[in-house]
Structure 1
Amino acid sequence: MFRHLARTALTLVVLGSAVACGSGGDGSDGYTLRIGATSPTGTPAGSLGWGDKEGILARELKEAGVDKIEYSFFQSGSDVASALIAGAVDVAAIGDNPGLRTRSKNPEVVLLSLDSINGDAWLVGAKGGPTDIEGLVGKSVTAPQGTIRDRAAKQLIDAAGLTGKIQVRDVPTPESIAGLSSGQIDATVVTGASAIELEHKGFPIIDSLGRHGMGSTGTNIALTPFLDQHPGFADAWRTAVTAVNRDIRDNFDEYAQWVAQTDGTELEFVKESTRPDEFNTEPFPAEGVDQLQAAYDFLDADGSLENSFDVREWAGAKS
């Protein structure tokens, strides 16, 4: 997926990896597209990386006048969103939590597309600790505040009817995993192959969003002034995202192998944590919009949104 946890402590700005999309410096009227995302490797990861590697993004966005693509990588989705609002990037490819929060602050934030749906998150416990969520009563769960993992922790606690009985602490994922290993942390929420890797190392999977029919989405957002300046861009972006995802579904084994290599993990962990149906081939599939609405409802009830807005209109008006 376009959004990934950054394991580095500093923001990585990768300008040297600009990808030529046009005929080069020939004085054309094309422009450089600046994409902001998070990445564990400092290079385009997930479906964004696959689209970059296979040349799909360059090909599809060329029709909208994009001559080059520059990537900036940040520590969190919230950081990417802040860069978008500040004008440092043109498109933010982030999780639904920061996407929804950003739209609640600024009505000029446009939802270009969903780049993934059905995203899972796992509640992983310490070795020798509780193996069910009831065993965490009076204890704490860690997750970076404002992220999908944070919301997942709260959703799983809520689904168990234990709201207020289990604390959710704001701790970055690398520190959480280290604390889990040392026994200093009771449980944390992890996404992707990292969760399956921990399970194979003997850490118990206590619960997951998927067990409750819940899931997360990836949002791609831009600002109205940018889209007004480039009127053909939104349609080209949606075509590009769905073309990338279609290619991943058609070549899933090759994609999984590439993810395992770039993320430095085992192929079996990638395949256990990632399913082809996470890669939507429509920009706003009904299932994904339902998941986005569910995320909005939870954040709204939690008091995490500054202003209310119509999620289905935000997505549906663009479909």
Structure 2
Amino acid sequence: MGKLAQKKTSFKLSTILALISLVLLAAACGKAEADPTGGQEAGKIPSVLRIGYIGSTKLNLPGGAEGWGFYTGITKQELQKYGITDVQFVGFPSGPDLSESLISGRIDIGSLGDTPAVLAKSAGAPSKLITLNAANSNAFILAKKGGPASLAELKGKKLSVKKGSYMHRYVAGLLKEQGIKDVQLIHLLDEDADAALVRGEVDAIATTEVRGLKMIPQGYPVLDEALKDHPDLVGGSITVVSESYLKKFPDLPKVWNDLRVKALEDLQTKEEDYYAFLVENTGNSLELVRKTSAISRIQKETFTDKGLQQLEAAKDFLVSDKLAENDFSIEEWIAK
């Protein structure tokens, strides 16, 4: 049996609902055990703040203004004024994994793609939206060498996509728009997907901008680029907080966003230092981080009209395509 046969999980798009339901059930069973604050009363700010992000970095920090603020000490120093003396970062391979930990109380805040956050919220996750970090998260569909030469040729083929991610919504929307059916979607995490494409065990992969730009020079054909070919299907990055933590620190949204803006204003005066931080943190080249993590992509405003419209559109698609379990109000989701 091949390696892909041992690892792959074929799925229909509707199975994301079962995934979120299981997450909520697990949270109900284990939340008390996961809370290191010992059930502190509402209104008392815990000394520990646990922050989740997507990826695995050398410094165990996210990028963007948030990561820069903690890297330089700007944010950590300010949080100490509120009694937060221990900040812990946890990297996750995907948004659904991060959502599970937020629901179960293992982390307090999480930055992730809009799609997994919406899917979790639609299934009843007790979270509040505090920031739209960035819009226009790009993605690629890459084919294996000698494989499909167009999107239409994906019919009857195997396409790898990380289930529940913003790329999942991109793929679902793209296939629906193009009228392409009978595509076997296979759930693989990033490194497994790359390896499967190299070995020819899948016909194509949906991948992030960073990973795509690394593979394209190796000769893997681009079948589609979200930002260029289908900008209405790009993703966004958002930050959510658990409702239980928000009860203990009601001012968190304002404090968090004020510190994010302060860190952004600082890094804008130290561009070379910021990009050097990203190179050290990710291990990627300076050229790549400048292209994929340009400072101009970081939003200063907590919420923009464009960002909210994009988030609303993502939610509406997921609901109408029956990927999201229930509709809900974006306005009511926002922490006040």
Q: TM-score, normalised by structure 2?
A: 0.78
- Alignment partner for residue 38 of structure 1, among 54, 57, 60? 54
Structure 2 match to 1:266? 285
The structure-2 alpha-carbon separation of the partners of 1:243 and 1:152, relative to structure 1 and needing over 3 Å to count, comes to farther
Structure 2 match to 1:173? 190
The Cα RMSD (Å) is: 2.4
Structure 1 match to 2:211? 194
How far apart in 1 are the matches of 2:195 and 2:99?
A: 28
Q: Which amino acid aligns with 2:243?
A: T
Q: Deviations over 1:262-309 (max 9, x none)?
A: 222222222333343421101111121112112111211221222210
Give how far 1:244 is off: 3.3
Structure-to-structure mapping, 1:46-65, within 5 angstroms: 46-47=63-64, 48-65=66-83
Structure 2 match to 1:218? 237
The structure-2 alpha-carbon separation of the partners of 1:255 and 1:203, relative to structure 1 and needing over 3 Å to count, comes to farther
Give how far 1:247 is off: 4.0
Question: Does residue 1:310 correspond to 2:329, yes or no?
Answer: yes
The structure-2 alpha-carbon separation of the partners of 1:192 and 1:261, relative to structure 1 and needing over 3 Å to count, comes to farther
Q: Deviations over 1:102-158 (max 9, x none)?
A: 211226311111222211111111122234312322213111111112222222223
Structure 2 match to 1:134? 152
How far apart in 2 are the matches of 1:299 and 1:245?
A: 32
SS of alignment partner, residue 34 of structure 1:
strand
- Alignment partner for residue 111 of structure 2, among 69, 93, 96? 93
Question: Does residue 1:157 correspond to 2:175, yes or no?
Answer: yes
The structure-2 alpha-carbon separation of the partners of 1:278 and 1:184, relative to structure 1 and needing over 3 Å to count, comes to same
Structure 2 unaligned blocks of 5 or more: 1-44
The alignment of Structure 1 onto Structure 2 pairs a total of residues equal to 289
- Structure with greater contact order relative to length (CA < 8 Å, sep ≥ 6): 2
Structure 2 match to 1:207? 224
More helix by percentage: 2
How far apart in 1 are the matches of 2:152 and 2:271?
A: 37
The structure-2 alpha-carbon separation of the partners of 1:195 and 1:257, relative to structure 1 and needing over 3 Å to count, comes to farther
Question: Does residue 1:228 correspond to 2:244, yes or no?
Answer: no
Deviates more, 1:201-210 or 1:32-41: 32-41
Structure 1 unaligned blocks of 5 or more: 1-28
Q: TM-score, normalised by structure 1?
A: 0.82
